[in-house]
Amino acid sequence: MIIKNAIFAILIFTTMGCSFNEITSIFKEKEVKLPGKRENVFDFNDDIIVKANKKILIDKPAIINSWSQQFQNSKNHLFHFSSKPVLKLQRKISLGNILFDKINLIVQPVNLGDNIFYADKDFNIISRNYLNGKLNWKLNLEREKKEKILFLGGMSLDGNSLVVTSGLGNIYLIDSITGKKQWKKNFLVQFSRPPLIFKNKVFAVSDDNQTFCLNLKNGEIIWNHIGNLEEVSIIGGSKPAAIDNTVVLSYSSGEIYALDENDGSLIWFDNVGSSNYFSRSALNDIQSPLSIVNDKVYSPTFSDKLLVYDINEGSKIWELKISSINQVIISGEALYIIDTLGKLLCLDSKTGRLLWSVQLKTNYDGKEIRWFGPLLTSNKLLVANSFGTILSLSPFTGKTLSKLNMGEEFILSPFQIKKEVLFITKKGTIFILG
């Protein structure tokens, strides 16, 4: 686990180049034999710890046209995406050396149309056609390069507007078509999270637990919110989530705020660490995204709590003792999440009742195995791990549909561009399945 204090932080970064190879990986709704080295991904012979005793209902898969910001949309709601019933590796794109000397994390690229936007280790923001590899433009963040900071916070897209946050305290607006810088604002604080763009406003959460709401057109501050300072927390975090006139955000102190997006006034508040005396962890940080689904706010935490709130009143609907730094997937009546013990859980999204769980392997020859995901796409739950395994499971039973070791360490949850699924490795390779 990577830990930071209030002054020092480390975060994810990425570079991109282009090269293509052919490997085939197939995910079907039945067991198939795949090329590649086989790896045992379970801790027990009986991989299904709990089997569902009710019919699991999920929504039909929906087509998405872009992945324009962290967790795809302004609500951070990762739902049931549509891809091809059978996924094959279409191509590999080499990103080059994506890691600094002291960095072991990566900022997720964003996409609009056929173009993907990302950053390299020299602080270049790059736009490239991800289908043919053609470079559209490259913009260097000169101040970040000169100061040799160790990370960017992330980026979000809204039409022609690309917003980038940095560890130097800068927020940039870049024209996504031309690559020209529109404005830059400095706030003398670190940003290690991506921004949210919502209703022509930019919402950025700093490492010292402040939220800045800016005018998207000119970068002027509309309002500012301050939480309690937390000296020790996990690196990075999630952008805020928003719907209607409400923006919901979390701080490393364990505080959750629902604010009016117009003026920052308080709607409701909770502190998940206030009764956390018997937690296995002394950390109150919330790394997982707050997800807004059907007037509910779902909040997984690192401190043994999965909380569900009414978005209007802030009252708790249900709560479970679960610790996670991963995202939740919510579709129909099912909620999927990987906890810090390596269990992939399927819960009833209305009550929190456990439907099934699978224990993923968390150790190999004394080395920790980290799992990323899941992603729900065309009736398949996809997860990847730090030993190079891609695993597909049934969302209805937890049964393994297929698995493959790609030979490179994955470092990011899978995400989608249209109907293609992307996996990024530590060596700087994007595996594109379609």
The yes-or-no verdict on residue 149 having pLDDT over 80 is: no
Name beta bridge partners: 260.
246
Tell me which residue of 265, 280, 272, 263 sits closest to 297, measured CA to CA: 272
Tell me which residue of 292, 289, 286 sits closest to 305, measured CA to CA: 286
**Residues 372-386 pLDDT 10s:** 999 999 999 999 999
The yes-or-no verdict on residue 303 having pLDDT over 90 is: no
Q: Contact at 8 Å (CB) between 426 and 416?
A: no
Tell me which residue of 171, 155, 146 sits closest to 112, measured CA to CA: 155
Residue 103: its pLDDT value, please? Answer: 54
pTM of the predicted model as reported, rounded to 2 decimal places: 0.85
Among the residue ranges 31-35, 310-314, 323-327, the one predicted with the least confidence is 31-35
Residue 65 burial (C-beta neighbours within 10 Å; 0-12, 13-18, 19+): exposed
Tell me which residue of 296, 300, 299 sits closest to 312, measured CA to CA: 296
The more confidently predicted of residues 403 and 106 is: 403
The mean pLDDT value for 11-22 works out to 34
Give the distance from CA 4 to its chain's centroid.
Answer: 19
Q: How do beta strands 124-129 and 266-271 pair?
A: unpaired
The yes-or-no verdict on residue 33 having pLDDT over 70 is: no
The reply to whether CATH 2.40.128.630 applies to domain 12-149+237-433 is: yes
The yes-or-no verdict on residue 71 having pLDDT over 90 is: yes
The yes-or-no verdict on residue 348 having pLDDT over 70 is: yes
Neighbours of 350 (CB within 10 A): 14
Pairwise CA distance, residues 165 & 151, whole Å = 10
